[in-house]
Structure 1
Amino acid sequence: MPFPDLVQPELGAYVSSVGMPDDFVQFWTSTIADARQAGGEVSIVQAQTTLTAVQSFDVTFPGYGGHPIKGWLILPTHHEGRLPLVAQYIGYGGGRGLAHEQLHWAASGFAYFRMDTRGQGSDWSVGETADPVGSTSSIPGFMTRGVLDKNDYYYRRLFTDAVRAIDALLGLDFVDPERIAVCGDSQGGGISLAVGGIDPRVKAVMPDVPFLCDFPRAVQTAVRDPYLEIVRFLAQHREKKAAVFETLNYFDCVNFARRSKAPALFSVALMDEVCPPSTVYGAFNAYAGEKTITEYEFNNHEGGQGYQERQQMTWLSRLFGVG
């Protein structure tokens, strides 16, 4: 197949035209403050598994609006002192899955948390967290739920959940508050960029083939969903383009990247039809902290998979002094 987007050197030089709203910081500061004010209980109970080399816990914590959000917490069975934490967010349509999946972080000496995604988790992995908030008219999927008002947009709730997960985990006496990392692929990569841009407690960001970056370019260049949900919405709501992109500017990970100071390890797939590589470079080139990016030249949206996980483990272990 031909490369669907820009190639080097034009790709590496690409600069996003996304603008940051004047009240971007205030919007997110007040959003997170309101969620914290809503409060809610954190529950951590032993998960029912046969695993013995790691400890597995079923976690419920308060997210946006105090709504209960699920997650898995996995720890090395034998550990001393405070552990570095890796919080992982999930790709589009997926949920937290099962407790015995994704054990490589705990096996490498990290506390590992995999957050469920409200309202998702019935496509390629299971979830158990409802989204109790309704929506105005939208295309099936999540990209246009509440998109005509930044206060009602679905990703306001999801990004807030992700920050509140950090709040819940930092209250645990075995978590090192100075060694907090976030990661994820696709939608999860976008969420990790958002959390890194909102929460200065995050000390490392690892977005793989990140989604939710450079919306104006994405809707013009993506070949496959989910960005095309926005296209189909605007094909019917022809007069609402300005309102849609005004909302999306508050959730564009290019803007979060501009505010992120933690070291970051990105990845991009140059044949990606879901998250066009120029949109990833739009966020990468805007990223304000120390950064590096790995290219998978001949891969589509699957990106580096195990190869990138191996690179993440090496990179983060060195950064956090593990092993």
Structure 2
Amino acid sequence: MAFFDLPLAQLRDYRPALDQPDDFDAFWSRTLTAARKHDLAAEVTPYDALLPGVRVSDVRFSGYDGQRVAAWLVEPAIGDRPLPCVVQFIGYGGGRGRPHEWLLWPAAGYAVLVVDSRGQGDGDTPDLPGDNTPHHNGLMTRGVLDPETYYYRRLFTDAVRAVDLASTLPAVDPGRIVVAGASQGGGIAQAVAGLHRQVRAALIDVPFLTCFRRATEITDSYPYQELSNFCAANRDRVEQVFHTLGYFDGGHFAARATAPALYSVGLMDDVCPPSTVFAAYNHYAGPKRMQVWPYNRHEGGGSFQTPVQLPWLRDQLA
């Protein structure tokens, strides 16, 4: 994929007007208030991953509507407590995976809470009660005709509750909670940064779920193509679809976020086009920095992004 979006000089200034629903804040206040009426009811069970350098726990807690969400807590086996904690969110179609996949942050001296994505991955967290079959795609349009029933209302609420949970864990310093993720995970981290005031810093890589309408207009790649296909089949409901998506657009959350954020973007990314990433970044209300990877696609910086994140995060949490 060659450069297909705006030139970098224009991207740095690209700040489209926000087209958010009038009741955006009321919607999310009501959603989160309802979720917090349910006790977190955290279950933290030691898990033998045969990794003596870390402590691993299988974690379950109450998310949207009190429904149970799975997570891993991985922390260094030795060292002082409490620890800063990275709350890690996952890309589209993935789940929490296995503990050995999440050793970076404990190796750097952090705890990491790896939050499962309901209805995705291997099915540890069903989307809805009685629905134990994980989905690999199709979630972009699940319930999309009504913000009350849209899939990402449930997923974003789970993510906010995960930060609530992290702040209660004995191993975690509640004043040093970081949200992180790439692609869908980056979009979730961006949303939580705008919804939860306890977030100390945010690592937002090649974020998905941002500037939906523009994304469908300039890329044929999935998952945004799921929305395009739905609109093609439901020609009379296009505006209804984008009205719902207005409650979940990353730019609207970014405009409410105050924690320092480190973003990344790939200028050849046809999955999450760079103009959609910059649209949210340029609206981000807190201190921010953008790491640009000119010749990369949706992998963004990959392993090259980690050496950028580690010193930046060390400085934020000092």
Cα distance in 2 for partners of 1:99, 1:173 equals 20
Cα distance in 2 for partners of 1:134, 1:295 equals 43
Change (3 A) 1:298 1:49: same
| Aligned counterpart in structure 1 of residue 191 of structure 2, from 194, 212, 223 | 194
| Aligned counterpart in structure 2 of residue 177 of structure 1, from 171, 174, 199 | 174
Cα distance in 2 for partners of 1:47, 1:104 equals 18
Match of 1:102 in 2: 102
1:227 aligns with 2:221: no
Percent identity over the alignment? 48
Match of 1:130 in 2: 126
SS of 2:48 mapped into structure 1: coil
Q: What is the aligned-residue RMSD (CA, Å)?
A: 1.5
1:208-227 equivalences in 2 (<5 Å): 208-227=205-224
Paired AA for residue 210 in structure 1: P
TM-superposed deviation, 1:34: 0.3
Paired AA for residue 25 in structure 1: D
Match of 2:266 in 1: 269
Match of 2:72 in 1: 72
Match of 1:46 in 2: 46
Change (3 A) 1:140 1:292: closer
Cα distance in 1 for partners of 2:297, 2:129 equals 34
Stretches (4+) displaced over 2 A: none
Match of 1:142 in 2: 139
1:12 aligns with 2:12: yes
TM-score (norm 1): 0.94
Q: Is the 8 A contact 1:270 1:300 kept in 2?
A: yes
Cα distance in 1 for partners of 2:147, 2:297 equals 31
SS of 1:9 mapped into structure 2: helix
Cα distance in 1 for partners of 2:196, 2:190 equals 10
Query: Which ranges in structure 1 are unaligned for 5 or more consecutive residues?
Result: none
Cα distance in 2 for partners of 1:48, 1:243 equals 48
Paired AA for residue 132 in structure 1: L
Cα distance in 2 for partners of 1:115, 1:305 equals 20
Query: Which ranges in structure 2 are unaligned for 5 or more consecutive residues?
Result: none
Q: Is the 8 A contact 1:61 1:69 kept in 2?
A: yes
Cα distance in 2 for partners of 1:255, 1:44 equals 34
Paired AA for residue 182 in structure 1: V
Match of 2:153 in 1: 156
Paired AA for residue 42 in structure 2: V
**Matched positions, count:** 314
Q: Is the 8 A contact 2:137 2:223 kept in 1?
A: no
